[in-house]
A and B are shown apart, each in its own frame.
Chain A
Amino acid sequence: MDILSTQEWQAVALSLRVSLWATLCSLPPGIAVALVLARGRFPGRQLLNGIVHLPLILPPVVTGYLLLTTFGTKGPVGGLLEQCCGIVFAFRWTGAALAAGIMAFPLMVRSIRLAIEAVDPKLEQAAATLGASPFRVFATVTLPLVMPGILAGSILAFARAMGEFGATITFVSNIPGQTQTLPSAIYAFLQVPGGEASALRLVAISVAIAMTALLVSEAIAARIARRIAGS
């Protein structure tokens, strides 16, 4: 507590929570969309591909604004969710997680999709001739072989979520303890005189978190590769 002020701690903790939830919640739809894009043959596949990639190419502020109009308390989806389930995104940490998840989604999908495309369909055919149902083939052959890609995609998404700024600040603003993530906090500290020291500490923490995530993912990926390469 001596090293960081309460506001700094809050920002670090909030960013970790937001990024973790954003990554975890993106995983199931991320794998599903990657699977559809890699294997599906249907009209509109390119359109889906485009929509998934939109957050990557749009200005983040635009994405944030679109989120606000859609998921805000007066937005069509946001209003509905509040009425039926009491879920509120606007100006809450959940909104920050939603924004981070959407911004990170294309990176996650890309990574998983490449991994799925690298899986030899012949192995899946072989599994089918051994009596495995399509679901079992996916669970026991496709998924384990795609695991390094899922891991890489998750780390990438987590890092992107940690760095998310534009969409977040547009959608949920910059409320300390509520929606003030690491980048928002750094930005805020740089706006006040004498805030440089705080900003610098948060920058160091950002670098440390990013490096740790990368090293952990590299280590796990190396272990998977060793297992597949044998002995």
Chain B
Amino acid sequence: MTLDIEMHHAFPGFALDVDFSAPAGVTALFGRSGAGKTSIVNAVAGLMRPRFGRVVLAGRTLTDTASGIWVPPHRRRIGYVFQEDRLFPHLSVAQNLAYGRGRQRDAGEFDRVVDMLAIAPLLTRQPASLSGGERQRVAIGRALLANPDLLLMDEPLASLDEARKAEILPYLERLRDEAGIPILYVSHSASEVARLATTIVVIHDGRVSRIGAARDILADPEAVPMLGQRDAGAVIDATVARHDAQDGLTELSVAAGRLVLPLIDAAPGTRLRIRIGAHDVIIAKELPRDISALNILPVTVTRIHQGEGPGAAVGLDAGGDHLLARITRRSVRSLNLEPGLACYAIIKSTAIAPQDIGRKAGDRLDRS
């Protein structure tokens, strides 16, 4: 199922001009605040009419200004999880969840969604008595239970603190792997996108500045300035090999060898998706000895991107996986780094935070 979007719309002091397709899986609309992401999502939902534009979902034309086609929002079968939960304050959680179920066919669906989001204990409560994380989970459930063909999520975690984000992210991963519908996910957080997205569309000043598979974009040195210098980082697949309970470490096997990280609560064999921040990767030309860092992977330099600032983004190939290192231009010069050069990537175990470790997307949605 594909979503095709084309829109041109002039806002006061800002023009939106985009044309892209979102394949199955989670497509992240990534960009700074005010880049036009929410307007795109609103146009898809039918909450906003673009001056010129076309929205086609799986061959069904929802908006086409050229031929005057306009499907009203309630006939689009598009679920929307807003930045604020927008739960109906006068209805209980169960009534909120049931609101869109007129479209529902499968009776077991309710239990499945309630179970997936762990909201069964909340059903009799009123929205006002829920915590922010609980409210957002209910909002996700409500959108899912309307049985949509596409799910829009506009920064669903933005209004939550770090602890609540960490609470919801695993549910979003399950959603990606189990709901089986495409998701258009708006975010300006690189770590969120790294954890969830299968496709990334970078929106910059109202235009699509980059589009591609998530791991390619995240590992692309040229994309670093758009993703944000501080937030850049590539994603690699890993499998839990064994745990070392004594030292409190988990050993993972990755394409380029072994990766040792602080203990991860996952059984051996579990496939994970690990984000390695670009500023946490050190490059050495010789195999370092007597060094505290536990992870040293043999890599090859693929690309180097130098911008205006003192930094440079270096793309690395680690046995087929992509890594990204952010180092200074001075280091690039003194090490004579250039594409094709074999060297070593050094990664501190403690640099990988729990929110950088996610479950790997189900194979069905892995690559689109």
Chain A interface residues (CB < 8 Å from chain B):
120, 122-123, 125-134, 137, 140-141, 144-145, 224, 227-231
Mind listing 7 A-B residue pairs with CB under 8 Å?
A123-B88, A125-B73, A128-B47, A129-B47, A131-B77, A133-B74, A227-B126
Encode B49-91 as 1/0 by CB contact (under 8 A) with A.
0000000000000000000000011111111101010101110
Chain B interface residues (CB < 8 Å from chain A):
45-47, 72-80, 82, 84, 86, 88-90, 99-100, 102-103, 125-130, 142-143, 146
Complex contact A128–B72 (CB within 8 A): yes
Closest chain A CB from B175 CB (angstroms): 17
Q: Which residues of B contact A132 (CB under 8 A)?
A: 74, 99-100
Complex contact B78–A129 (CB within 8 A): yes
| Bound complex: CA A165 to CA B86 (Å) | 46
| Bound complex: CA A123 to CA B47 (Å) | 12
| Bound complex: CA A227 to CA B128 (Å) | 9
With A228-B126, A229-B128, A230-B127 already in contact, the answer to whether A129 and B88 are too (CB < 8 A) is no
Complex contact B73–A129 (CB within 8 A): yes
With A132-B74, A144-B90 already in contact, the answer to whether A230 and B45 are too (CB < 8 A) is no
| Bound complex: CA A125 to CA B89 (Å) | 14
Complex contact A230–B129 (CB within 8 A): yes
| Bound complex: CA A231 to CA B142 (Å) | 20
Closest chain B CB from A176 CB (angstroms): 47
Q: Which residues of B contact A145 (CB under 8 A)?
A: 89-90
Complex contact B89–A228 (CB within 8 A): yes
| Bound complex: CA A74 to CA B65 (Å) | 56
Closest B residue to A122 by CB, please name it.
B86
Complex contact A122–B73 (CB within 8 A): no
Complex contact B73–A128 (CB within 8 A): yes
With A122-B84, A123-B86, A125-B47 already in contact, the answer to whether A130 and B126 are too (CB < 8 A) is no
Complex contact B90–A130 (CB within 8 A): no
The 4 closest A-B pairs by CB, nearest first: A130-B100, A230-B126, A230-B128, A230-B129
| Bound complex: CA A9 to CA B211 (Å) | 81
| Bound complex: CA A14 to CA B76 (Å) | 54
Complex contact B74–A227 (CB within 8 A): no
Closest chain A CB from B36 CB (angstroms): 19
Complex contact B90–A228 (CB within 8 A): yes
| Bound complex: CA A58 to CA B142 (Å) | 51
Complex contact A130–B142 (CB within 8 A): yes
Q: Which residues of B contact A224 (CB under 8 A)?
A: 90
**Majority secondary structure, A binding face:** helix
| Bound complex: CA A145 to CA B127 (Å) | 14
Q: Which of B45, B78, B82, B90 has the most CB of A within 10 A?
A: B90
| Bound complex: CA A120 to CA B146 (Å) | 21
| Bound complex: CA A64 to CA B366 (Å) | 76
B84, B90, B102: the one contacting A227 at CB < 8 Å is B90
Complex contact B103–A131 (CB within 8 A): yes
Complex contact A128–B82 (CB within 8 A): no
Q: Which residues of B contact A130 (CB under 8 A)?
A: 74, 79, 99-100, 142-143, 146
Closest A residue to B86 by CB, please name it.
A126
| Bound complex: CA A140 to CA B102 (Å) | 13
Closest chain B CB from A158 CB (angstroms): 24
| Bound complex: CA A135 to CA B76 (Å) | 17
Q: Which residues of A contact B126 (CB under 8 A)?
A: 227-231
Complex contact B100–A131 (CB within 8 A): yes
Q: Which residues of B contact A122 (CB under 8 A)?
A: 82, 84, 86
Complex contact A126–B80 (CB within 8 A): yes
A123, A126, A131, A228: the one contacting B128 at CB < 8 Å is A228
Closest chain B CB from A221 CB (angstroms): 13
Closest chain B CB from A200 CB (angstroms): 45
Closest chain A CB from B216 CB (angstroms): 32
Complex contact A129–B129 (CB within 8 A): no
| Bound complex: CA A228 to CA B126 (Å) | 7
Q: Which residues of B contact A140 (CB under 8 A)?
A: 99
| Bound complex: CA A228 to CA B127 (Å) | 8
17 more A-B contacts (CB under 8 A) besides A128-B72, A230-B129? A120-B86, A122-B82, A128-B73, A129-B79, A129-B143, A129-B146, A130-B74, A131-B77, A132-B74, A134-B74, A145-B90, A227-B90, A227-B126, A229-B126, A229-B128, A230-B125, A230-B130
Complex contact B125–A129 (CB within 8 A): no
| Bound complex: CA A132 to CA B72 (Å) | 10
Q: Which residues of B contact A230 (CB under 8 A)?
A: 125-130
Closest chain B CB from A220 CB (angstroms): 14
| Bound complex: CA A230 to CA B75 (Å) | 31
A131, A141, A228: the one contacting B74 at CB < 8 Å is A131
With A123-B86, A145-B89, A228-B90 already in contact, the answer to whether A128 and B129 are too (CB < 8 A) is no
